[in-house]
């Protein structure tokens, strides 16, 4: 099959959740013998120099990057308050991207065009005009739920109102776009059920759109690293710190959990690592909180630390870093929202905590019982091996494509 991927950011380098999820399926399909092409947005927030893409990857994927200005524009954001259109989506509409997409569709024939995230859906019209390919939306999240949860948690009334507006217009767009694609691949079964539920109110033929769930996958062997240098006990958080839910979660944890943990375990350290560290994280002076910023090798970093902390209270889809942490045999303390979409079980292969008291209790349990951590980490790695390995997920993806094409 010939598959064109339209990506909201470059899948290379795979250094955060979205690109990792895109890269997984792109590389997996290429390794399985399918022909893939990639056309991706290149923005200031996740900017990639084409010269930095490995030649082998560039040749295999035919990747092209189109510069798109996604920076927040106050005037446009203000005008958006008086319109029922999604400002999040509108920012991705680019004349240069449209021109190159049109040219690519005229130059080559594709069986499948896969839209990575709802933000690529404004280009459906161009695809329909210039290609007979089946169009698939790969929904990394239920995007409006992320912003809806941020709005619910906001204390500032003005922020609550504005973010609520962004969430409602994004929801309207997601509802409308379901009837425009030929198939939907969700990241989690819960998200897939959501898209199926939407179709019950949409007239035929949209109500017959196939929906499946293909989670993020990895090669578990890549995360089996020596643990002889593990610092036990220790806590760590790893992720893109320029993502609002991550920032909000870490801020909450430092304010409501860490002071009590530090008093109880004064020698325990909490390491913060990831891209896009905001200024307040880099400059803060919290006892035994070590702010590292972006680390050279996330897998080696995880192998060197003991317990992963994921204090997420907003978001949707699947947390890639949790899957990675599980593959690395780590004990993970996460909220239910953080662990959404992952087939995990509290006290078996993960520790779930939704309040400050619960986080304190689960962390205390982990740092005082290394055998427990080892057991939970091993069960977590077994879960990843059985459910989130790349090869069977790629086979399931190809079966979904074939279902649409026949």
Model pLDDT, residue 341: 82
- Listed residue (143, 151, 149) closest to 172, CA to CA: 143
**In the block, residue with structure tokens 């004064």:** 266
Model pLDDT, residue 221: 82
Cα distances from 284 to residues 272, 279, 280, 287, 338, in angstroms, run 12, 8, 6, 10, 25
Q: Where in the chain is the domain with CATH 3.40.50.2000?
A: 2-215+390-405, 221-387
Residue 350, preceding bond cis, omega within 30 degrees? no
**In the block, residue with structure tokens 């399985």:** 32
Cβ contact 3:27 at 8 Å:
no
According to DSSP, residue 182 is labeled S
Cβ contact 114:138 at 8 Å:
yes
The domain covering 221-387 belongs, at the CATH homologous superfamily level, to: Glycogen Phosphorylase B; (3.40.50.2000)
- Listed residue (108, 144, 105) closest to 124, CA to CA: 105
CA distance 19 to 10: 6
According to DSSP, residue 276 is labeled S
Model pLDDT, residue 118: 93
CATH annotation of 2-215+390-405: 3.40.50.2000
CA distance 131 to 109: 7
Cβ contact 310:235 at 8 Å:
no
Cβ contact 365:347 at 8 Å:
no
CA distance 227 to 206: 51
pLDDT along the chain (406 residues), means of 10: 97 89 95 97 93 96 96 65 75 95 98 96 97 96 76 79 80 86 92 83 66 89 75 95 90 97 98 93 93 92 95 78 93 94 94 98 97 96 93 95 94
- Backbone dihedral region for residue 379 (phi beyond 0: left; psi -120 to 50: alpha; all else: beta): alpha
CA distance 213 to 117: 14
């Amino acid at each position: 099959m010939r598959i064109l991927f339209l990506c909201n950011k470059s899948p290379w380098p795979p250094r955060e959740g979205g690109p990792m999820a895109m890269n997984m399926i792109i590389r997996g399909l290429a390794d399985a013998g399918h022909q893939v092409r990639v056309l991706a947005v290149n923005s200031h927030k996740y900017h990639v120099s084409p010269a930095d893409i490995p030649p082998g990857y560039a040749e295999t994927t035919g990747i092209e990057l189109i510069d798109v200005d996604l920076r927040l524009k106050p005037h446009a954001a203000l005008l958006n308050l008086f319109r029922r259109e999604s400002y999040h989506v509108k920012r991705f509409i680019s004349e240069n991207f449209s021109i190159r997409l049109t040219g690519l569709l005229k130059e080559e024939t594709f069986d499948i065009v896969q839209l990575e995230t709802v933000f690529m859906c404004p280009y459906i019209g161009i695809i329909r005009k210039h290609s007979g390919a089946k169009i698939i939306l790969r929904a990394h999240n239920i995007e409006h739920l992320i912003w809806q949860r941020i709005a619910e948690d906001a204390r500032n009334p003005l922020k609550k109102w504005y973010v609520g507006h962004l969430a409602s217009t994004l929801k309207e767009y997601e509802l409308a776009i379901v009837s425009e694609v030929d198939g939907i691949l969700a990241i989690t079964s819960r998200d897939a059920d959501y898209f199926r539920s939407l179709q019950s109110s949409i007239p035929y033929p949209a109500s017959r759109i196939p929906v499946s769930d293909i989670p993020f996958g990895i090669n578990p062997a890549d995360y089996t690293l020596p643990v002889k240098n593990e610092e036990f006990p220790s806590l760590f958080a790893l992720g893109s710190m320029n993502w609002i839910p991550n920032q909000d979660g870490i801020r909450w944890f430092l304010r409501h959990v860490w002071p009590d943990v530090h008093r109880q375990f004064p020698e325990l350290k909490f390491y913060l690592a990831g891209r896009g560290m905001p200024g307040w994280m880099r400059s803060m002076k919290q006892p035994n909180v070590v702010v590292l910023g972006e680390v050279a090798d996330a897998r080696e970093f995880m192998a060197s630390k003991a317990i992963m902390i994921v204090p997420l209270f907003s978001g949707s889809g699947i947390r890639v870093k949790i899957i990675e942490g599980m593959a690395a045999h780590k004990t993970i303390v996460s909220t239910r929202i953080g662990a959404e979409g992952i087939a995990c079980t509290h006290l078996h292969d993960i520790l779930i905590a939704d309040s400050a008291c619960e986080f304190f209790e689960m962390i205390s349990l982990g740092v005082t019982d290394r055998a427990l951590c080892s057991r939970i980490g091993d069960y977590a790695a077994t879960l990843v091996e059985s459910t989130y390995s790349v090869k069977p997920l790629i086979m399931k993806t190809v079966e979904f494509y074939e279902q649409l094409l026949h």
